[in-house]
A and B are shown apart, each in its own frame.
Chain A
Amino acid sequence: MDYDKFKREMEKEGRGDSVSVGAGLTGEFILYSFLVIGLFLLSRVFGKVLLATVGILAIGAGLHMIPMVFRFKRENSNHIVLQLFWISIFLGAISMIIFIAGSW
């Protein structure tokens, strides 16, 4: 991740001082390491080659999407449409996991 590019992105929102940029960049790295570690954990626990492959693909997609943190902030904003969208996705995902994966 290029620091200057990141700084320019932050300046668009009027928060270009070094403290905020540093914090934002840390957020970016945390998100990325979360992706890597989470996939590590999943592929080790389930021990499936397919899952590991998909995981590597996801990491690649994440690298492609850098910087993720702005997108992430937009998804976490207080807009009711986005909140309800994620709640409905949550309901669908959790019912799929419990009903399909749970009854294996």
Chain B
Amino acid sequence: MNLLPLIVVVPLITAVVFSYIYRSKYVKPLTLFIGFILLVLPLLGTYGPYFFGGHGIVYIGTIPLVSGIVYTLNPLKETMIFTLMLIGSIVLVLSTRERELSGVFTSLVLMGLASVSAVILTEDLFNLYVFYEIAAITQAGLVILSGTEEAYRSAFRYLLVGTMAGSILLLGVGLLLSATGSLNIGDMGRCLTVNPLTPTVYGGLLMLIVGLAYGGGLPPFHTLKADLYARAKPFVAAILQAYSKFILIALMLVVLKLFGNLPIFHTTRGVLIALSVFAMVFGTVMALLQEDYRKLLAYHTVSQGGYVALGLALGTPLAILAGIFHGINHTLYKSALFIGAHILDKIKSTDMRKVGGLLLVTPTLAFLILCAKLASIGIPPFNGFQSKLLLAEAVMNANMPELAVLMLILSIGTFLYMMKAFYLIFLRPCSEEQLREFKDVKISKYYILSLGLLLVLCLFLGIYPDIVIDRLYPVVEDIGVKWVLESIKNS
């Protein structure tokens, strides 16, 4: 029996249970337990399609159409879900160190994990919309949990804009349904290639891109997203950025599958590349201007989201591979950085003007954070280097060397603000009594261990990137847009 739906259903059931027993004293042990269960979930499914309710393929005339909802599992989706569940598990385990943990937090994290894995797994556009909406509400809720006034503000603003973007996406799904008569992404793509394009399809594409920009945090929604990450508790921000990164990848793949073979894709590709380049530049420049470590990390997330989107928008198999690989890598090292910020928050504050000289207090932490920073800048032997190299190669192959130059310049910017943060937090001289005050704070071993685990993974993927790349490449080759490569060859 194929247990694929359990990846989504088990977190959902436990989320409902946790939201009911949220004041119980067993919440902490149960959270720890479910944190380990999550790691098993990605292994349950078998590759191939899964038909919900037993409604399989039916024939109308000679055309095969999927009648119900289909989920498919392939190595690409499995790797993404495994990364997501790993981050979720780490965050849940770390949350048991919080004094005020309640079942509500666990419930929301599980709800988000379930909905994002559903967005990754699904082959059905309406199903994708439903779970996309759950993920949006969940992210706002997770931010409100930190309970400060700014958190309320940014979450309400996110929800306000989310109502607009979500309705636009729903309207787009409706338009595409009316144009193709199906909601299955494969069927819709086939129908669109056969029939002539109508304005309805253009409208659908337009609205899909708006939904994608909101879900993935591309401009002009990047300020909202960055505010969201900066206001949440930093270890919660670790899971928030994982959610939006995977939603971005999933929606980009949907756009590629639906419109990749149409003539309109030429324009779409331009729009998406422009959006992702804007995200890269805006994120980097804004991060350079920040004084607060959390905000700096938040804008860094935006700029790295631009890298991921750039890879997927280029549309060649190599570029898609690089984009997705960078997304996975970024999720890993960024979670490490956010957990580091959480420790910093525990010690004193994430405002970089208020801390200093922490190297003398916690040398282990300083070393680990330095490694995570190196990974995020893209310095060998860490994984960030491998994926950025791959991305630069893909950009060159796609006949856009200017973008490679821009990536190089942005890398210098990234290096600068990461090292600025490292200097201000760990190296800047500070007074004796302040140091004594910092030394009094005890840091839980859990944090250091989880940081270490994430960094070992980063190092491992940096040395043996082929483990992931070989799994992803066959899947990505199918999705890659063939004519992009041909047109490059011809020119």
Contact = CB atoms under 8 A, between A and B. Distances in A.
Given A77-B223, A97-B267, A98-B268, A30 B410 contact: yes
B264 A102 contact: yes
A33 B271 contact: no
A59 to B, nearest CB: 14
Nearest to A84: B161
Contacts of B206: 94-95, 98-99
Interface residues of A, number: 40
Interface string B216-230: 000111111001000
A1 to B, nearest CB: 15
A45 to B, nearest CB: 8
Given A30-B413, A89-B220, A99-B199, A19 B420 contact: yes
A51 interface: no
Given A26-B288, A73-B286, A87 B281 contact: no
Interface string A26-47: 1100110110011011001100
B403 A41 contact: yes
A23 interface: yes
Interface in A28-85: 30-31, 33-34, 37-38, 40-41, 44-45, 69, 72-73, 76-78, 80, 83-84
A69 B282 CA distance: 10
A94 B209 contact: yes
Contacts of B210: 90-91, 94
A65 to B, nearest CB: 15
B285 A27 contact: yes
Interface in B185-203: 199, 202
B220 A30 contact: no
A86 B413 CA distance: 25
B213 A90 contact: yes
A34 to B, nearest CB: 5
A24 interface: yes
A82 to B, nearest CB: 8
A1 B294 CA distance: 30
Contacts of A31: 281, 285
Contacts of B420: 19, 22-23
Given A19-B423, A26-B416, A97 B286 contact: no
A95 B282 CA distance: 22
B441 interface: no
Contacts of B400: 41, 45
Contact of B271 (A22, A72, A94): A94
B397 to A, nearest CB: 15
B119 to A, nearest CB: 22
Contacts of B221: 87
Contact of A69 (B220, B289, B403): B289
A26 B227 contact: no
A52 B264 CA distance: 24
A20 B291 contact: yes
The A interface, classified by DSSP as helix, strand, loop or mixed, is helix
B284 A30 contact: yes
Nearest to B160: A80
A101 B289 contact: no
Contact of A37 (B213, B264, B286, B405): B405
Contact of B402 (A27, A37, A89): A37
Contact of A83 (B161, B202, B284, B424): B161
Contacts of A22: 416, 420
A7 B42 CA distance: 53
Given A37-B405, A41-B400, A86 B220 contact: yes
A99 B285 CA distance: 32
A97 B202 CA distance: 10
A76 B221 CA distance: 10
A37 B202 CA distance: 30
Contacts of A40: 402
A69 B264 CA distance: 35
A24 B402 contact: no
B360 to A, nearest CB: 20
A90 B285 contact: no
A76 B222 CA distance: 9
A33 to B, nearest CB: 5
A8 interface: no
Given A98-B271, A101-B267, A102-B267, A27 B227 contact: no
Interface of A: 15, 19-20, 22-24, 26-27, 30-31, 33-34, 37-38, 40-41, 44-45, 69, 72-73, 76-78, 80, 83-84, 86-87, 89-91, 94-95, 97-99, 101-103
30 contacts: A15-B291, A19-B420, A22-B420, A26-B413, A26-B416, A27-B284, A27-B285, A30-B285, A30-B410, A30-B413, A37-B405, A40-B402, A44-B402, A73-B286, A76-B222, A78-B154, A78-B157, A78-B227, A83-B157, A83-B161, A94-B209, A94-B210, A95-B206, A98-B202, A98-B206, A98-B209, A98-B264, A98-B271, A99-B199, A102-B268
The 3 closest A-B pairs by CB, nearest first: A86-B220, A27-B288, A41-B402
Given A90-B220, A94-B206, 9 more contacts: A26-B412, A31-B281, A34-B277, A38-B402, A73-B289, A91-B210, A94-B271, A97-B267, A103-B202
